[in-house]
Structure 1
Amino acid sequence: MKYILIIFWCSIVCQSWGREVISLNRSWKFTPGYETAKNTYTEVNLPHTWNQDALAAKVNYERGLGNYEKDIDIPAAWQGKRLYLRFKGANTITNVFINSKHAGEHRGGYTAFAMDITPYIHWGTKNNIWVRVNNSPQLDIMPLLGDFNMYGGIYRDVELIITDPFHISLSDYGSYGLYFTQTDVSREKARILAKILVKGETGCSSVIRVKIEDPQGKNIVSAEQEITFDEQGEAVGELILNISKPHLWNGRKDPFLYKTITELLRKGQITDRVEEKIGIRYFRVDPDKGFFLNDEPLQLRGVCRHQDRAEIGNALFPSHHREDMEIMKEMGVNAIRLAHYPQDRYVYDLCDEYGFIVWAEIPFVGPGGYRDKGFVDQLSFRENGKIQLKELIRQNYNHPSICFWGLFNELKQSGDDPLNYVEELNTLAHEEDPYRLTTAASNQNGALNEVTDLIAWNQYYGWYGGEPAGIGKWADAVHKKYPEKPVGISEYGAGASILHQQEELKKPVANSYWHPENWQAFFHEEHWKAIDQRPYLWGTFVWNMFDFGAAHRQEGEMAGKNDKGLVTFDRKIKKDAFYFYKANWNLEEPFVYITGKRFEKRSEMSQQIKIYSNQPEVELILNGKSLGVKKGVYGIFTWTEIQWKKGENILTARSKNGITDEVKILF
């Protein structure tokens, strides 16, 4: 079966045609929930989290209430317009008050939401916004738990959106009201159904106009439709647009994006206008041959990514997201699992731009190896999960990068059995979006593995048990058990500290203090060799691209952190394993890299030296003397029984085209 989809990258642009978007990120008065005295606030800018204590590895970090307050001037000239307050992310329960009146509540910490605040506005004067955020544990909101920090706060942007009464809807599960579905696509043609949700006045009519342009501004196709608003002042437009010989969005190879312009007209005047970028592509997954993009096989070389970093938690700026993408691009990544929750819309925009294939998922997180519950069989929990799934899909429906909707991570069927509920989620996902595939990340056997279109497993051979090479035998056994179902690896990884260096290659105890960097590198060498020889794996994802916060973890060189990242929590240092993948995945940027370079002071006079490079041959030079030229296997070049001299040693690796790396070793 071939799955096809047209995807639009929503990038709202401020225009003079009735819509204005104003950032409200500056100058909020923040007060913790436990602070009751008046005028005891801290001025903060958004994005913001109050959980610096989680970053300091406090296991019982503050999970409770936080208050944000701000006054804004509303001009009298805006009277007659509609005003929306849009939050891109606040964790977990958010209640909004305008001039002391309750404007609405949102339950869920990872999706956007918009509230129509027009009825509460005082025109021509200051208006007070009070936002009450609560990140305390809840039994009716996903996730119930997680091996990551549940940072509290308004940690993404907040916008005030001013529209004409006749406007493209902002009230559909936090989306921008635009859904573009590709019903037939090939290299010869693309047929697009544009579904546009609009708001106006009962009985009135308007015209919806959609245009598609190339990057140079040339019109490719356009369509118009007249609509009439119903008793609720709502209408839905459905327009067909056909493109001959479309320029396909083709992942990292060619992430081509058109531009669309959607306009709402009333009596010939534009009352609202939204511009987006668009990618056209189709894909399929074969249980024996893996993933295909635009009918071409594509080995998905993936990583997982959490949305936090050292010192600032999850209060990330656009520059942080782009830096992460640049690091992944350098390594040669072509697929990302955005775990374990919806991430900032800008992240999906960047994935469209960079050409990364994306697995996007809801925060239905099971207990994994911990003593806890990921599922409580009560109606309120079930309904909340379905709302979060609708929000994920509708807010991100138009991204070309997203191919997979993830429904759960490491659920268990003991106690309340989630099987029936996962089946309901799978049905809902296909009702919302028939053109993408569902998947899940499992860590056990059972019927849960048979619900989604695809399945993948979290496996840690060589870290929590077994040896790294065992991943190959395991994969073969799973493929044999599920011959008709595409199988993948959703997580594999090992911890590493850049401060932990050892001369011997010895497997550490996973929950211990000692996480040597050389074992992580060896772990990934063995895993990738096995993965690369198994084309039936539809996708594999390293856990994790970056170290991330997990306050409850008491292991590795620093408590409160999961150190399985290929890059440090602050993004400053790329671990040895990063360069192993770069040697295998990025053949466009020539490099050589000497491993173990942070092991500056050694004791054994005879040692092995290992180089990673994407070049065919590398020469090793010790203290000015050549030790010979080697050919690599999987980007690995090894010299044994290197004899050091007392004192300082200069080790240089050089490729045939003159690229070098150098390190000093002391004895």
Structure 2
Amino acid sequence: MRLLLLAATLLISLPVSVLAAEAPPRERLSFNEGWLFSRTDAEWVLGQLDYANAKPWLLASAADFFGPTSPQTARPRGNFGGGFTHVQADFDDRGWRPLTLPHDWGIEGPFKQEYPGDTGKLPWWGVAWYRKHFDLPATDAGRRIVLEIDGAMAHSLVWLNGQFVGGWPYGYSSYQLDLTPYIKPGQPNVLAIRLDNPTESSRWYPGSGLYRNVWLTKTNPVHVAPWGAIVTTPKVTAEAAQVSIQVLTDNDSATNAALSLSTELFALDDTGRKSAALGQPITVTIEPGRQASTTQTLRVPQPRLWSVTHPHRYVAVTSITQDGRLVDRLETPFGIRTAVFDADRGFRLNGEVVPIRGVCNHHDLGALGSAINLRALERQLEILRAMGCNAIRTSHNPPAPELLDLCDRMGFLVMDEAFDCWAKGKNRHDYHVQFPDWHEADLRALVRRDRNHPSVILWSIGNEVIEQWFADGQEGWKLAARLAGIVREEDRTRPVSAGFNGEISGYNGYQHVLDAIGYNYRIKEYARFREINPAIPLFGAETASALSSRGVYFFPISDDKIDPASRADFQVSSYDLYAAPWATPPDVEWRAADAVPGYAGEFVWTGFDYLGEPTPYNADLTNLLNFSDPAEKERQKQLLTELGRIPTPSRSSYFGIIDLAGFPKDRYYFYQARWRPDLPMAHLLPHWTWPERAGEITPIHAYTSGDEAELFLNGRSLGRKQRGPGEYRLRWDDVKYAPGEVKVVAYKQGAVWAEAVQRTAGPAARLKAKADRRELTADGRDLSFVTVRIEDADGVLAPRAENRVAFAVSGPAEIVATDNGDPTSFESFQSKERAAFNGLVLVVVRTQPGTTGPITLTATSPGLAPAEVSLTAK
């Protein structure tokens, strides 16, 4: 372990200019273009490339992520896998498919009912290869060349020019490999990556492939170590903040390096950057093959604090010179803020109580799959922010780095999670297989990568791990203490927590080795936990798990959360009264939370629907009861007989507040009413187009941030109701359906606050299209999400329309996905046409790289007036 310590504490804010030097020698280049892809494996390998054989090579490539007490693995002699054709530089790959990363092969389908498990009915498992031919300038000779992979699903193995470099098993981890010993500056180079995504390795759709960004970083032999700048803010007041910058510098040259290090802090805003503080240079000499740690503490006067409402950011610019020449320059974004979990008051950000209004999200992007896209992530956060959401739990794995960058910029809090299981697994091939060898490296990699993000306020070491049920011993709290200790070695500025669904987890020792307890669905434990553990912070790590299909309503309704009448044809009624057996509707969760002093807030399961886990329609014979059509029920029985087992009937979840296409469900407005109490809003459900229900009881519910409301049916008052203690919705459960108009007028403190209307729709007559953004960047990555509504002649949404809509685009763009939010749809996401689901359909348009100009998207459907949207690529 390379280590040389040098600390210098400086409280300096004088505007000293940066040392003049040549352009920074550090380059970080996108490495996403020009890949070739194949699902064919090399010649029959007889398991020779399996993890068991690759293990010593992989552990050696991750040596920097194991502590001094961990077993150290030296790189074996030889060239692992070097004899296989696919890794050879001269292998003929001209027949392979060209593509640009990020790439998820699973989302391309096809959907198949017979695919096992609850992971989305898509073919995400198996072996695949990626190859890239590239040239490196001869001027890069002598530089250090590093490959950075933000995520590869899974068991990645990497060769360069036929030589094995390394890899990483966990598909969610970001990692880096030093290519320097194997690269050929001034000559052609070939990179080969093999992935092996095992079956039965996930409980949800994990995606596949090189699904996150890949980078090539070039530095001098003397350089800041990977993730080697660590910024903390040990003291923050309105008058001044102390900012500590620890820099780990590697000397990979053959001689001593006499260096001078300096760091300048800049405040970032929409107009650019402004110098905030500058430290005096520190001198240090590093021996060959060693690492030095230098620390500076700078004073920032009148700091602009990062918060969810004003996410002010800074950047630390570290410069290293050797013999008067700039040899490295690294920019490290950060924020200045205080974040404290308080057992008595909840969560405090910069001294103010901020209720956590969060959601859990899996990493897939709906119809786009798991392949990361910055705009798609940004759109999700925009939709959540409008609801009042201010926090994200990265369920249940390390997120894409871009998500944290967006949360920093947009003002979201983050519970950053590492694992879904520990040594005891939930699936045959899930993370428990790697846990003994890799938990330390994976956990350190997560914390080192993410510890400078001001948005990250919690580290989560696990979700619903089976070990939580053990009261003592190595399988119980001692293992949690071991993992928490690893996190604290890397970062002592944030609390360590986990998501616990066991009622004993708050009393069997876990509560004493963690810094805050997050309960999953244990609302009956809130009061008991607070009584027994009055000094330990408490929050809801995973709440609700309510179920609904957007725009679907079944009658009669009841308050039984698992009422069979709430489900039919593999849909769930959207009255928001229904939940999984272990879970609760939102109202029930809120009543329990509001009764507990110091409850810090919640992370709802989930913000968006996601691929896989189609509760309540998991593989179960009782699903046959959900078919109302006798012929369809008989067909399904025949299918079960032919398959010899029971298939899962749906592709995606019903948990989301927002459906898979990004369309808000009724529940969205329920949370908005609670999370944005100052926003004048009201929402009515169900829709009011029920020609078959004339004269039948059709209950009406209203969500509002007001405190009372009056309901009108065709101008006639049906009564004014006031929300009482523990009531979060207003209900008129005895309304008899009559076509026309339903209107609610909400009041707050006696004054009119907001109104909402539902009108009976006539026959579908036209399409109406609206783009979330009309001006796009011509980079081949930017997206426009276009919503198409089916309306009647008066512009009222036809809430039960299922008309088929076809799309066409002209100009420098392409259609990359369509969806409608229907969890039972098995139509390809790449289809250029799709049936609407309850009046709505989505089409996603992507720009072409380097080509600007006007774009026209056209939507057509037989018998309906078409719609057109004009976009521009700039």
**How far has the Cα of 1:348 moved from its partner?**
0.9
Change in Cα spacing, 1:652 to 1:602, as seen in structure 2 (3 Å) is farther
Contact 1:442–1:449 at 8 Å: present in 2 too?
no
Distance 1:102 1:374 in 2: 25
- The separation in 2 between residues aligned to 1:42 and 1:406, in whole angstroms, is 39
Aligned pair 1:291/2:347, yes or no?
A: yes
Residues 78-93 of structure 1 aligned to structure 2 (within 5 Å): 78-93=140-155
Summarize the Cα distance change of 1:374–1:30 in structure 2 as closer, same or farther, 3 Å threshold: closer
Give 1:616 shift: 5.1
Report what 1:32 is aligned to: 39
User: What residue number does 2:412 align with?
Assistant: 356
Check if 1:115 corresponds to 2:171: no
Secondary structure at the aligned position of 1:195 is classed as strand
Match of 1:241 in 2: 298
3-state SS in 1 of match to 2:330: strand
Matched AA of 2:666: D
Aligned equivalents of 1:282, 1:310: Cα separation in 2: 35
Quickly say closer, same or farther: Cα 1:412–1:598, change in 2 above 3 A: farther
Given the alignment, which residue of 430, 433, 456 partners 1:402?
A: 456
Residues 287 and 483 in structure 1, CA contact (< 8 A), matched pair in contact too: yes
Secondary structure in 1 aligned to 2:101?
coil
Partners of 2:614 and 2:389 lie apart in 1 by: 30
Does residue 426 (structure 1) correspond to residue 489 (structure 2)? The answer is no
Q: Deviations over 1:420-479 (max 9, x none)?
A: 32221111212221121111111221536333111122117xxxxxxxxxx3x4421232
In the alignment, is the contact (CA less than 8 A) between 2:153 and 2:171 conserved in 1? yes
TM-score normalised to structure 1 length: 0.85
- Residues 481-560 of structure 1 aligned to structure 2 (within 5 Å): 481-492=532-543, 493-498=545-550, 500-506=552-558, 507=560, 509=562, 513-520=570-577, 523-550=585-612, 554-555=617-618, 559-560=650-651
1:662 aligns with 758
Structure 1 residue 649 corresponds to structure 2 residue 701: no
**Conserved? CA contact 1:203–1:228, under 8 Å:** yes
Number of the residue aligned with 2:644: none
Q: CA separation in 1, counterparts of 2:235 and 2:388? A: 31
Counterpart check, 1:583 vs 2:637: no
* 1:125-148: CA deviation from partner (whole Å, max 9, x where unpaired): 3211111112226xxxxxx95432
* Aligned with residue 411 of structure 1, among 465, 473, 476: 465
Q: Helix, strand or coil: the match of 2:466?
A: coil
Report the TM-score, using the length of structure 2 for normalisation: 0.66
| Higher gyration radius (CA) | 2
Select between 620-629 and 316-325 the one with higher mean Cα deviation: 620-629
Shift of 1:345: 0.9
Q: Give the letter for the 2:684 counterpart.
A: I
Give the secondary structure class of the aligned counterpart of 1:218. Answer: strand
Once the two structures are superposed, residues 581-609 of structure 1 have per-residue CA deviations (whole angstroms, 9 ceiling, x without a partner) of 10111245433221222875552534332
Helix, strand or coil: the match of 1:439? strand
Query: Residue 577 of structure 1: CA displacement?
Result: 1.1
- Sort the Cα spacing of 1:259 and 1:663 in 2 relative to 1 into closer, same or farther, 3 A: farther
**Against the structure 1 CA distance between its residues 363 and 476, is the aligned structure 2 distance closer, same or farther, given a 3 Å change threshold?**
same
Q: 1:185-196 residue pairs with structure 2 within 5 A?
A: 185-196=236-247
Whole-angstrom CA distance in 2 between matches of 1:375 and 1:369: 7
- Contact preservation (8 Å) 2:395, 2:417: yes
SS at match of 1:259: strand
2-side partners of 1:367 and 1:225: how far apart? 45
By how many angstroms is 1:394 displaced?
Answer: 0.4
Alpha carbons of structure 1 residues 132 and 598: separation in structure 2 relative to 1, 3 Å: farther
| Alignment match of 1:597 (pick from 684, 687, 692) | 687
Matched, 1:96 2:161: no
Matches for 1:607-646 after TM superposition, within 5 Å: 607-615=698-706, 618-625=709-716, 627=718, 631=722, 636-645=729-738
Cα displacement (A) at 1:393: 0.6
Spell out the pairing of 1:174-253 with structure 2 (5 A cutoff).
175=227, 177-200=228-251, 201=253, 202-215=255-268, 217-223=273-279, 224-232=281-289, 234-250=291-307, 252-253=308-309
The 2-side partners of 1:270 and 1:638 are apart by 69
Letter in 1 for 2:661: D
Within 2, Cα distance between the matches of 1:389 and 1:188? Answer: 36
SS at 2:669's partner residue?
helix
Q: Deviations over 1:15-43 (max 9, x none)?
A: 94112222121232111144769655222
CA pair 520-103 structure 1, distance change in 2 beyond 3 A: farther
- CA RMSD after TM alignment: 3.2
Relative contact order higher in (CA < 8 Å, ≥ 6 apart): 1
The answer as to whether partners of 1:17 and 1:271 remain within 8 angstroms in 2 is yes
How far residue 46 of structure 1 moved from its aligned partner, in angstroms, is 1.2
Code of the aligned partner of 1:498: R
- Aligned pair partner of 2:310 in 232, 239, 254: 254
Residues 11-50 of structure 1: pairs in structure 2 closer than 5 A? 16-34=23-41, 39-50=94-105
Supply the distance in 1 between the matched residues of 2:563 and 2:701 (Cα, whole angstroms): 24
Letter in 1 for 2:734: E
d(CA) in 2 for partners of 1:614, 1:369: 43
Q: Tell me how far apart the structure 2 counterparts of residues 279 and 352 of structure 1 sit (CA, whole Å).
A: 8
Shift of 1:156: 0.3
SS in 2 for 1:221: strand
Equivalence map 1:354-393=2 (5 Å): 354-365=410-421, 381-393=435-447
1:56 Cα deviation from its structure 2 partner = 5.3
Identity between Structure 1 and Structure 2 (%): 26
Alpha-carbon contact 1:55-1:311 (below 8 Å) kept: no
Extract unaligned runs of 5+ from structure 1: 1-14, 138-143, 461-470
Number of equivalences? 625
Distance 1:626 1:504, change over 3 A: same
Displacement of 1:344 in angstroms is 0.8
Mapping of 1:132-143 within 5 angstroms? 132-136=194-198
Query: Residue 600 and residue 93 in structure 1: after superposition, are their counterparts in 2 closer, same or farther (change >3 A)?
Result: farther
Shift in Å at residue 321 of structure 1?
0.9
Q: After the TM superposition, which of the residue ranges 607-616 and 126-135 deviates more from structure 2? A: 607-616
> Is contact 1:367–1:373 with CA below 8 Å preserved after alignment?
no
Distance in 1, matches of 2:223 and 2:688, equals 58
Q: Distance in 2 between matches of 1:75 and 1:104?
A: 24
Are the aligned partners of 2:146 and 2:178 in contact in 1 as well (CA < 8 Å)? yes
SS in 2 for 1:183: strand
What is the one-letter code of the residue matched to 2:326? I
Corresponding residue for residue 656 of structure 2: 565
Moved more, 440-449 or 321-330: 440-449
The offset of 1:419, in angstroms, is 3.6
Note the C-alpha offset of 1:89: 0.8
Match 1:275 to one of 331, 335, 338? 331
Inter-CA distance 372–536: structure 2 relative to 1 (3 Å threshold): farther
Is the 8 Å Cα contact of residues 146 and 366 (structure 1) preserved in structure 2? no
Cα 1:127–1:320 shift into 2, 3 Å: same
Instruction: Kindly state the Cα deviation for residue 101 of structure 1 after the two structures are TM-superposed.
Output: 1.1
Q: Which residue matches 2:645?
A: none
**Structure 2: distance between partners of 1:89 and 1:219:** 34
Q: Is the 8 A contact 1:54 1:560 kept in 2?
A: no
Picking from 488, 492, 498, the partner of 1:440 is 498
Counterpart residue identity of residue 449, structure 1: Y
Letter of the structure 1 residue corresponding to residue 686 of structure 2:
G
